[in-house]
Amino acid sequence: MIILDGKKLADKIRNELKAEVKMFDHVGLAVILVGDDDASRLYVSMKKKACEEAGIESFEIKLPSTVTEHELIAEVEKLNINNKVDGILVQLPLPKHINTAKIISVIDPKKDVDGFHHVNIGSLVAGMEDNCFVSCTPLGVIKLLEEYNIDPKGKNSVVVGASNIVGKPMASLLLNRNSTVDICHIYTQDLKSHTINADIIIVAVGKANLITADMIKNDAIVIDVGINKLPNGKIVGDVDFDEVSTKASYITPVPGGVGPMTIAMLLSNTVKSAKMRLSK
């Protein structure tokens, strides 16, 4: 069994990006943070630190949880026309009174480094990955598979979880690479009947121990996107790592697997945006 080391690959990518950023006059990423949710604040500070280390200027726009949809749209529109900003990221989740899809649709698709805008999602589904931004977490998973020479072509893949952010783009990326893809979600009956035949299993649900050893075949490749905090404070994924790792051929740890790749891909997408700006 081989551990897919996302931390090591993310460090390598971040070092390469740091060298690349030096060749630009300027690269900038703006992050909008609404409210004071602890997890969101933590994610934003991690992204800010990663930007600083790569030489990318980060702009943080903090807004109160009482901000109106109209005011938030106005902030996004200001960033859309700010030449110093290559990437715009609205930290999710947003307060309930704000329509998330509407806010994302206002971001200039050319600065949508999270890859959530419907124009970017459409391009991904159409197989035009080079000309769009792909959601950072699934893109990170693909880079991790590539690093270990795992080609999804011809393999049976199962994606568990069908969110717009992870599961759906993940399935499109695998399909674009000629994998046969099953997508499972909360209404899937008998999850095991899908996972047991999978060569590649990618789990992005948010439920500790959802995938157990009896649900996978020998030598399966297991990618755990989930992040769950147990009552004792321990951070685990969606896969029962101790058991499943005895049967899998490759597996990602949590932490240290997909998580670090997500941030590396955010920086990578921001540099891609700067390149696209310059090539115009």
Catalytic residues: 47, 91, 114
For ligand NAP, the closer of residues 87 and 110 by Cβ is: 87
Peptide linkage before 93 cis (omega within 30 of 0): yes
**Binder among 87, 109, 152, 161 for ligand NAP (CB under 6 A):** 161
For ligand NAP, the closer of residues 110 and 157 by Cβ is: 157
**Binder among 7, 41, 185, 275 for ligand NAP (CB under 6 A):** 185
184 scored as a contact of ligand NAP (CB under 6 A): yes
252 scored as a contact of ligand NAP (CB under 6 A): no
166 scored as a contact of ligand NAP (CB under 6 A): yes
162 scored as a contact of ligand NAP (CB under 6 A): yes
Dihedral sign, Cα of residue 35, residue 39, residue 45, residue 51: negative
**Binder among 165, 174, 215, 216 for ligand NAP (CB under 6 A):** 165
CB of 280 to ligand NAP, least distance (A): 31
CB-based burial label for 41 (10 Å; 0-12, 13-18, 19+): middle
For ligand NAP, the closer of residues 107 and 266 by Cβ is: 266
264 scored as a contact of ligand NAP (CB under 6 A): no
Residues binding ligand NAP: number (CB under 6 A): 25
* Contact status, residue 202 vs residue 160, Cβ threshold 8 Å: yes
Residue 23: CB atoms within 10 A of its CB come to 11
CB of 39 to ligand NAP, least distance (A): 9
**Binder among 258, 264, 267, 271 for ligand NAP (CB under 6 A):** 258
**Binder among 91, 262, 270, 273 for ligand NAP (CB under 6 A):** 262
- Binding to ligand NAP (CB under 6 A) within 60-89 occurs at none
- Binding to ligand NAP (CB under 6 A) within 78-137 occurs at 137
Q: Give the whole-angstrom CA distance, residue 241 versus residue 125.
A: 31
Closest CA relative to residue 159, chosen from 136, 179, 129: 179
* Contact status, residue 100 vs residue 149, Cβ threshold 8 Å: no
Candidates 8-16, 125-133, 154-162, 242-250 — which segment interacts with ligand NAP by CB under 6 A?
154-162
Long-range pairs, 223-227, Cβ under 8 A, ≥24: 223/4, 223/141, 223/144, 223/145, 223/251, 223/252, 223/257, 223/258, 224/251, 224/252, 224/253, 224/254, 224/257, 224/258, 225/137, 225/141, 225/161, 225/166, 225/258, 226/254, 227/254, 227/255, 227/259
For ligand NAP, the closer of residues 75 and 161 by Cβ is: 161
C-alpha gyration radius of the chain: 19
206 scored as a contact of ligand NAP (CB under 6 A): yes
50 scored as a contact of ligand NAP (CB under 6 A): no
Q: What share of the chain is helix, strand, coil (3-state, %, to 5)?
A: 45, 15, 40
Residues of this chain that bind ligand NAP (CB under 6 A): 137, 160-163, 165-167, 184-186, 188, 191, 204-207, 210, 225-228, 258-259, 262
